[in-house]
Amino acid sequence: MNVFPYFHGSFFEYCFNAFDDEKQRNREAMEEAKQVLEQSIVRQLVGHKGRLVEVPYTASVGDTLHALQAHNILAVPVAAPPGHWIGAGGSVILESDKATGAARKHYIGIISTLDIFIHLTEAGSGSEEFVTSLMASPVSKVIGHSLEGLTLWCLTPQTSVLDAMEPMGKGLHRTLVPLESQLEHHHGKVGLESIEASPGYRMLTQTDLVRFLQTEADRLRPIMSKSVASLGVFQSTIFGVPENMSLADTMRCMTQASLAAVAIFPVAASGDE
C-alpha cells in the first residue's frame, strides 16, 4: 500500500502547526525544537548537491526517461531560451550569467515521472507506432499533465526549514532553490516565489526534509518521539485500485481525481472486487 506520500505531506504540516497548539505539555522543549527548524535554512539542505540535472525543451519524452533513470531521480526541470516561453503557472525562473547578470536560460517547468506516465496512458491499446510517437513527443508538451506540474516554484536560500514545511505539507514535492537569490538581495524577500534569477539552482525535495528531520532527531525529540497515531499524520480516507487494474486505467483514475499516488488492494479470492 503506497501511503508514504500522504504521510510526508501530513507530517510536514503537523510540524508547521504544532507550535501553535496551546495544549502542548512541554512548551520549553517544543520551543527548542521550533528554534532548530527556524534557524536552519534550505541552503544547508541542498548545498552538498551537485549540479542541477535538467533537460532542454527540445528533448523527447524518451530522452527524458533515460535521464531520469541514469541519475536515479523522479523529476527534472525543463530549460528553454529566455524570452520565448511562459513558465508553468506564469513563473519566470531564470539562470543568469554570474559575471554580467544576463539571462541564459528559462526554466519553464518541472517534468516528473507522473507527468510522463499520464502522457503515455494516452496510448491506451494503440498501435506500436502510436506509442513510439508518444515517446518521441517534445517534453515541453508534457509539462503540466499532473496537478503539481502546473506550477513551478523557488524557495529563496535563506528560507527556514520551518517555512519550507508549509508548502511541502500542502502537497508540494519539490522546488528549486537558487544558489544566489536576486530577489533576496534586491528586495529582502524570503520564501516561496515564482520569479527568480540566479547563476545556478539546486532541487529541494520532501525527501531532503525527511533526511534533515532524521539527522536532527535528537534536537527534535518533542516531535520525533511521538507515535504516528498521536500525530494524526495519516489520512483516514485512502483511494485505491484493485491489483488487476491496468496501468493505463490506474493513471486515468489518478488524473481524474488529481491524485499523486493510490493504494493497491488485492482482489478477493472469490473474484469480487
CA dihedral 82, 85, 90, 96 (to 10 degrees): -10
Specify the DSSP class assigned to residue 46. H
Higher pLDDT, 70 or 185: 70
Distance CA(253)–CA(266), nearest Å, equals 17
pLDDT at residue 90 above 60? Answer: yes
pLDDT number for residue 273: 47
Distance CA(262)–CA(273), nearest Å, equals 16
Distance CA(218)–CA(26), nearest Å, equals 15
The residue-averaged pLDDT of 233-259 equals: 83
Share of residues in the chain with pLDDT > 70 (%): 81
Residue with cell 527534472: 76
Helix/strand/coil for 86: coil
DSSP-assigned beta bridge partners for residue 265: 242
pLDDT number for residue 76: 97
The residue-averaged pLDDT of 138-159 equals: 92
Higher pLDDT, 210 or 184: 210
Mean pLDDT in the chain? 84
Bridging pattern class, strands 192-193 and 154-155: antiparallel
User: Residue 256 has which C-alpha cell?
Assistant: 481524474
Distance CA(194)–CA(240), nearest Å, equals 33
Helix orientation angle between 128-135 and 61-71, rounded to the nearest 10 degrees: 70
Instruction: Give 256's pLDDT tier (boundaries 50, 70, 90).
Output: confident
Of the CA atoms within 13 Å of residue 121, those in its CB half-sphere come to: 19
pTM: 0.80
Higher pLDDT, 91 or 130: 91
pLDDT in tens, 186-223: 554 556 778 888 999 999 999 999 999 999 999 998 88
DSSP-assigned beta bridge partners for residue 103: 96
The residue-averaged pLDDT of 21-35 equals: 73
Q: Label residue 7 exposed, middle or buried (CB < 10 Å: 0-12, 13-18, 19+).
A: middle
Helix residue spans in 19-48 (DSSP H): 27-39, 42-46
pLDDT number for residue 5: 44
- Tally Cβ neighbours within 10 Å of residue 26: 11
| E strand map for 187-232 | 192-193, 195-198, 201-205
Distance CA(178)–CA(93), nearest Å, equals 9
Higher pLDDT, 79 or 18: 79
DSSP-assigned beta bridge partners for residue 236: none
Judge contact between 36 and 91, C-beta under 8 A: no
Instruction: Give 3's pLDDT tier (boundaries 50, 70, 90).
Output: very low
